[in-house]
A and B are shown apart, each in its own frame.
Chain A
């Protein structure tokens, strides 16, 4: 490998030997094509004409008035397939095409990455298999149907907690057995090098657009950018462009589930007992685990945040105190989901609603002219079944 993909003491390549040749091949291809003119222009065409980039930065008149500061939303919910996941799915699928693979596999939690992978696979002519925990299949039926329509096989995973973590286990096993013709299209800034860096590369388009758009709208950078953090790809995507602008405060919001003290959550950074540095799915980062290192089963109303580990770059950003990480509970997220829908006519994904919830919580500490950008990483149509059950 050219690099070990370390973010300070985090990240790395903790995988079985069988996967090393594939990671080496992937790293080589990524380093080569990320600078390749043809690759980038092809990707930009896909992002523009297929996915619907650039996405708008919408000013929220009503919510701003209500909360007493200026609130903008980065509208990744308007993308094709309904979330930021398509940015990465198209990028990696195109890369896989350049490498010469003919099959894609992916894991999915909320189903958003699975749908994006299925769409990218259909568009670029891959056979696509998506691993999904049976618990997630149950709570994200619409996305399962979508993936099937897009020609992907949805492979149910019934082991462990039956959620994203177990879907990743299965996808890694599949890849181990089929590395020669298969690309593993990992959905977040997780896993072994080069995934965290590569996915950041494909997602940083979010922050690049945001920077341009906020300068057009306000003539200055925002005071605060808020994004939800599961694995953390939408957050890295919007934060990355602003990392060096120290005046822009960055906040990542994890899933607080039923509350930190209940142990039923997915807040790797905010549970001092269960959230510690560990190694899972190829990377060293903050992981929810017991004393001996057995992985803790996470919980969140938002399937896309329901994961035991956070992307390794978030761990270093936290250690450097560049990004502040907090959490919102299920209850707060659902309330925010309803408020944004009613005030602005925008139904956010339950994942993104965690970011909205944090802004509602802290708005009173902001001044009238302060500018907040919330990354609405996806739309909430997929959550209506579940929300219907909860609020009726």
Chain B
């Protein structure tokens, strides 16, 4: 399995940005979700960011909440999440990040969760509702179990805080390109570009930009502005939601879409 450092270095050598693709594990069901992840990797994704479905995902928009509910209704749970990672690891060595809400990790047992994540081949864990103030335990468990940390930075995060956050990151920085929740939208705000530059003053660690990235042009703009990667989530989840009745079409659309996005990371 490839580390973030290796992945980002090799992309840099190729003069490419990282395409980070997000899906919810088990959406719409275990088997299909596994096929989707493999399709995404085959189509060129450099990193997978995989969400644990949660009943009350306050940081996510309607698309991803619906995906969470689909997965949960089809029996997804934390034990099966780890089985899924194990299966997926037989297939690919691209870095895999988990995105979870705090309660799921807490209920599983912090140590048990991080330890199992490492054994199954997870690279990083980002906890959507965990600001740095509440991160001591998670950071300690990450270190102990050789899991990288990832934290979000938002456009209204002050400079002092940006510094504090980047200091805690060992994996990558998830830069939230706009206020609000996840979800695809048409235009990428100009301020995003300044935002990336603002974070860059404080760190050389990888910066990936997410929230509302849906078009190849967005990806291109972000990479040009100096980001190391672009995170695309809701737009892929939307393809899943649109094609629940026709899985072949779903996989085909995802393949074409991810392919286009990947091309846009080559600048």
Contact = CB atoms under 8 A, between A and B. Distances in A.
B103 A18 contact: no
A20 B157 contact: yes
Contact of B134 (A12, A293, A294): A12
Contact of B156 (A169, A180, A280): A180
A62 interface: no
Contacts of B107: 276, 278, 289, 291-293
Given A4-B133, A159-B65, A279 B54 contact: no
Contacts of B154: 16-18, 20-21
Contact of B181 (A14, A21, A176): A176
Given A18-B179, A173-B180, A1 B133 contact: yes
Interface stretch (B17-25, B30-38, B55-63, B232-240): B55-63
Interface in B5-61: 54-59, 61
Given A159-B65, A293-B107, A16 B152 contact: yes
A294 B54 contact: yes
B219 to A, nearest CB: 22
Interface string A278-307: 111110000101011111000000000000
A287 B106 CA distance: 12
A16 B181 CA distance: 10
A173 B101 CA distance: 15
B56 A295 contact: yes
B104 interface: yes
A177 B181 contact: yes
Contacts of A280: 56, 103
Given A291-B107, A292-B108, A293-B107, A169 B176 contact: no
B156 A16 contact: no
A149 to B, nearest CB: 29
B1 interface: no
B78 interface: yes
Nearest to B161: A20
B158 A15 contact: no
Contacts of B72: 294
A160 B62 CA distance: 11
Interface string A168-188: 010011001111100000000
A283 to B, nearest CB: 10
Interface string B66-102: 0001001000011100000000000000000000011
B104 A292 contact: yes
B103 A176 contact: no
B140 interface: no
Contact of B55 (A12, A14, A178, A295): A295
Interface string B113-149: 0000000000000001111011000000000000000
A18 B130 contact: no
A319 B93 CA distance: 47
A165 interface: yes
A4 B56 contact: no
Contacts of A117: none
Nearest to A4: B133
Of the candidates B55, B62, B78, B129, the one having the most CB atoms from chain A within 10 angstroms of its own CB is B55
B172 interface: no
B151 interface: yes
A169 B66 CA distance: 14
A287 B55 CA distance: 13
Contact of B179 (A4, A159, A169, A177): A177
Contact of A169 (B58, B108, B130): B58
A177 B61 CA distance: 11
Nearest to A5: B133
B134 A14 contact: yes
B223 interface: no
B156 A21 contact: yes
B153 interface: yes
Contacts of A293: 54, 78, 103-104, 106-108
Contacts of B77: 292, 294
Nearest to A295: B55
Contacts of B157: 17, 20-21
29 contacts: A1-B133, A4-B133, A14-B130, A15-B131, A16-B58, A16-B129, A16-B154, A17-B153, A17-B154, A18-B154, A18-B156, A18-B179, A21-B154, A21-B158, A165-B56, A166-B56, A173-B58, A173-B61, A173-B180, A176-B58, A176-B181, A180-B179, A278-B103, A278-B107, A279-B101, A292-B77, A292-B107, A292-B108, A293-B78
Interface of B: 54-59, 61-62, 65, 69, 72, 77-79, 101-104, 106-108, 128-131, 133-134, 151-154, 156-158, 161, 165, 176, 179-181
Interface of A: 1, 4, 12-18, 20-21, 159-160, 165-166, 169, 172-173, 176-180, 276, 278-282, 287, 289, 291-295
